[in-house]
């Protein structure tokens, strides 16, 4: 069946059932359903019903259409028992160490699912945590209404309020928002077709003013209380990022108060680390931003990146990451990728504090912010 053919609701549901009849709640397979049905790419009529408050794993690596092997046991030479496609969602049973160590990979973590084992790098840990929608958004200090929201489902669709301009939603067959992304909600409505409450989302920083309606039940309100500063009176705060060991440690004086595995930039063509060595000063903090770059530095276009702490004038930052789970291995374009909870902790802990609205602060003057030291070994 080609796009444009008469495609009844019954035929759509039948095709959907055949597609999702396996163990995975398939995201890539949904793309095929929409393509074969001729539906518009933003007509998210049907999405999988994810289990409630259950650890889930979404295949987050690769471009749309990418797939990865499922193994009978947690090591690379184990027999294949299937394939997992980008945006497929599985129950995350547990994370295990490889049964046989792989000498060419640093990370030896695998995720056990009901369909087999998959290499941990490819899987974003997530949950589906439905929210009670607000029918009126909070008032900001400027008299406008709005709030920061976090996506709390493995992925969700959107309906465009106007023709989109950015690549990540303009040229993608079935654009989605993903677990842990953060956006600014500035309007609310009941969807005229299904009666669901929806928020109108956009990005306040780093992007054009594209806007998209998203199911409010998968958008968790971030409150001012949860971004309150951590240890605001502590002296001599500083962050140490170790490129050799791919770690980040936070110190108050000589006492280490926080530690996490991270992903930094590797060594570039000129033999220098892409994450700049030396002692830096945080110069800007953003609650959520859009990140993009051309072919010269990786050709990426990433929306809703929360907990961004910029420490280098060329754009290097500590920030949350939802597009890989390969922490402990260098692979970024120069930033320090961190798990959402780790990036958020550092964002709250580092000075200066950032107000909930507008959720951004550019630091002026010397000795006004926390130092970030990048070392090698």
Q: Is residue 274 part of a domain?
A: yes
Q: Average pLDDT of 120-126?
A: 97
Q: Is residue 64 part of a domain?
A: yes
Q: Is residue 18 part of a domain?
A: yes
Task: Looking at the structure, tell me whether residues 215 and 232 fall in a common domain.
Answer: no
Q: Is residue 131 part of a domain?
A: no
Whether residue 291 has pLDDT greater than 80: yes
Given CA atoms 157, 162, 166, 170 in this order, what sign does their dihedral have? positive
49-66: pLDDT as tens digits: 899 989 999 999 988 789
> How high is the pLDDT of residue 165?
81
The arrangement of strands across the sheet holding 89-91 comes to 89-91, 56-59, 123-126
125-177: pLDDT as tens digits: 999 999 999 999 999 999 999 999 999 999 999 999 888 887 777 777 788 99
Mean pLDDT value across the chain: 87
Spatial contact of 225 and 309, defined as CB atoms under 8 Å apart: no
Q: Is residue 48 part of a domain?
A: no
Task: Looking at the structure, tell me whether residues 195 and 311 fall in a common domain.
Answer: no
Q: Average pLDDT of 275-298?
A: 85
Per the DSSP assignment, residues forming a β-bridge with 360 are: 286
Task: Looking at the structure, tell me whether residues 232 and 356 fall in a common domain.
Answer: yes
Q: Is residue 201 part of a domain?
A: yes
Task: Looking at the structure, tell me whether residues 212 and 240 fall in a common domain.
Answer: no
> How high is the pLDDT of residue 301?
84
Task: Looking at the structure, tell me whether residues 236 and 314 fall in a common domain.
Answer: yes
Task: Looking at the structure, tell me whether residues 240 and 320 fall in a common domain.
Answer: yes
CATH number of the CATH domain containing 177: 2.30.30
Task: Looking at the structure, tell me whether residues 113 and 153 fall in a common domain.
Answer: no
> How high is the pLDDT of residue 65?
83
Domain boundary pick from 171, 190, 222: 222
d(CA 109, CA 97): 5
Residue 241 belongs to domain spanning: 228-375
Q: Please give the tally of structural domains in the chain.
A: 3
Q: Is residue 98 part of a domain?
A: yes
Task: Looking at the structure, tell me whether residues 238 and 354 fall in a common domain.
Answer: yes
Q: Average pLDDT of 108-115?
A: 97
Does residue 5 or residue 231 have the better pLDDT? Answer: 231
Task: Looking at the structure, tell me whether residues 68 and 114 fall in a common domain.
Answer: yes
Q: Average pLDDT of 201-213?
A: 91
Task: Looking at the structure, tell me whether residues 162 and 208 fall in a common domain.
Answer: yes
Domain boundary pick from 199, 222, 245: 222
- 161-175, 176-190, 267-281, 309-323: least confidently modelled range: 161-175
> How high is the pLDDT of residue 24?
63
Does residue 33 or residue 230 have the better pLDDT? Answer: 230
Q: Is residue 47 part of a domain?
A: no
With bands split at pLDDT 50, 70 and 90, how would you rate the model's confidence at 46? low
- Find which of 12-21, 105-114, 200-209 is predicted with most confidence, using mean pLDDT: 105-114
d(CA 365, CA 368): 6
Task: Looking at the structure, tell me whether residues 233 and 316 fall in a common domain.
Answer: yes
> How high is the pLDDT of residue 39?
41
d(CA 106, CA 330): 10
d(CA 15, CA 209): 36
Domain boundary pick from 171, 203, 222: 222
Residue 35 phi, psi (nearest 5): -65, -45
> How high is the pLDDT of residue 262?
98
Structural Rg of the chain based on CA atoms: 21
Burial of 313 (0-12, 13-18, 19+ CB in 10 A): exposed
* Bond before 340 cis per omega within 30 degrees: no
Spatial contact of 19 and 27, defined as CB atoms under 8 Å apart: no
Task: Looking at the structure, tell me whether residues 181 and 195 fall in a common domain.
Answer: yes
CB neighbourhood size of 141 (10 A): 9
């Amino acid at each position: 069946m080609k796009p444009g053919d008469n495609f009844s609701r019954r035929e759509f549901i039948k095709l959907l059932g055949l597609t999702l009849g396996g163990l995975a709640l398939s995201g890539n397979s949904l793309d095929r359903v929409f393509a074969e049905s001729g539906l518009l790419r933003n007509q998210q009529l049907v999405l999988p019903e994810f289990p409630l408050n259950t650890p889930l794993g979404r295949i987050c690596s690769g471009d749309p259409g990418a797939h990865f092997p499922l193994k009978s046991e947690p090591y690379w030479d184990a027999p294949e028992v299937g394939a997992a496609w980008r945006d497929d969602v599985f129950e995350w049973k547990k994370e295990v160490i490889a049964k046989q160590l792989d000498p060419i990979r640093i990370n030896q973590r695998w995720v056990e699912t009901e369909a087999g084992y998959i290499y941990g790098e490819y899987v974003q840990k997530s949950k589906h945590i439905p929210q009670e929608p607000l029918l009126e958004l909070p008032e900001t200090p400027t008299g406008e209404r709005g709030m920061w929201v976090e996506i709390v489902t493995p992925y969700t669709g959107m309906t465009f309020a106007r023709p989109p301009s950015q690549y990540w939603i303009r040229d993608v067959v079935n654009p989605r928002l993903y677990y842990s992304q953060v956006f600014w909600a500035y309007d609310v409505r009941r969807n005229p077709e299904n009666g669901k409450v929806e928020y109108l989302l956009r990005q306040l920083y780093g992007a054009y003013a594209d806007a998209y309606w998203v199911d409010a039940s998968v958008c968790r309100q971030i409150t001012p209380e949860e971004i309150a500063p951590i240890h605001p009176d502590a002296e001599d705060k500083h962050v140490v990022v170790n490129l050799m060991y791919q770690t980040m440690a936070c110190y108050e004086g000589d006492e280490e108060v926080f530690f996490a595995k991270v992903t930094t930039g590797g060594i570039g063509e000129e033999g220098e680390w892409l994450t700049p060595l030396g002692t830096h000063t945080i110069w800007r903090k953003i609650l959520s931003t859009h990140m993009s770059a051309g072919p010269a530095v990786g050709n990426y276009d990433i929306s809703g990146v929360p907990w961004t702490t910029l420490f280098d004038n060329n754009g290097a930052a500590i920030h949350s990451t939802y597009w890989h789970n390969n922490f402990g291995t260098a692979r970024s374009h120069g930033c320090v990728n961190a798990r959402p909870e780790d990036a958020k902790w550092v964002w709250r802990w580092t000075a200066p504090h950032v107000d909930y609205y507008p959720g951004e602060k550019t630091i002026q003057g010397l000795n006004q912010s926390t130092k970030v030291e990048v070392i090698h070994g």
